[in-house]
Amino acid sequence: MDYQFNEKLVSALEGAGWISRRKVKVSSYVLDWKNEGYKIFPGALRFAENFGGTVLKHPGYNGEGFDESCFDPSAASRRLDRSWVVEDYQILAKEELIPVGQGYSGHLTYLLGDGGGFYGGFDDYFCKIGNTVEDALANIIFAKGFEKISS
């Protein structure tokens, strides 16, 4: 099953070098996820195959200047303290989470849920970016309507 992106989002993704039906090797991502103790689920593999190594340039969160989001699951896994995921984020999200990238000067770690949700976390800040990958990518690039989740 392919992602269903609207034309505006496809144009933005293609501008970043992404192509439809992209499929990169994910063995290094899988190894890093395993080494960090993450449960690997099909949606995470699919996302990594489609977006691994993609760097999206987009307006900064405050609307000024530009920033970028880098979808490198290995870098995200190594830079994130897994205890935040296990002890806080998964409880708030109510689904298993796995790191898939980072954005906003590398401060916000992107996490994909086994139920399809897409989240962001930075220390004690946690938000839902979208109910689906499609919603989340559009939100990151265009809307910036992240929903803060707290206990």
Instruction: Write out pLDDT tens, residues 97-108.
Output: 999 999 988 889
Burial class of 64 by CB neighbour count within 10 A (0 to 12, 13 to 18, 19+): exposed
> 42-56 burial by CB neighbour count: b if 16+ within 10 A, else e?
ebbbbbbebbbbbeb
What does each C-alpha distance from 36 to 1, 31, 103, 114 come to in angstroms? 28, 9, 20, 17
Instruction: Write out pLDDT tens, residues 67-117.
Output: 899 999 999 999 999 999 999 999 999 999 999 999 988 889 999 999 999
Taking only Cα atoms into account, the Rg of the chain, rounded to an integer number of angstroms, comes to 14
Q: How far is CA 21 from the centre of its chain?
A: 18
Task: For residue 20, name the pLDDT band (cuts at 50, 70, 90).
Answer: confident
Decide: 30 and 11 in contact? Cβ < 8 Å: no
In the structure encoding, which two tokens stand for residue 141, read together? 């690039």
| CATH match for 7-148 among 3.40.1580, 1.10.10, 3.30.70, 2.40.10 | 3.40.1580
pTM check: above 0.85: yes
Instruction: Write out pLDDT tens, residues 34-69.
Output: 999 999 999 999 999 999 999 998 877 777 788 899
Residues of the chain above pLDDT 70, percent: 99
Amino acid at 101: G
Task: For residue 1, name the pLDDT band (cuts at 50, 70, 90).
Answer: very low
Domain boundaries, the chain: 7-148
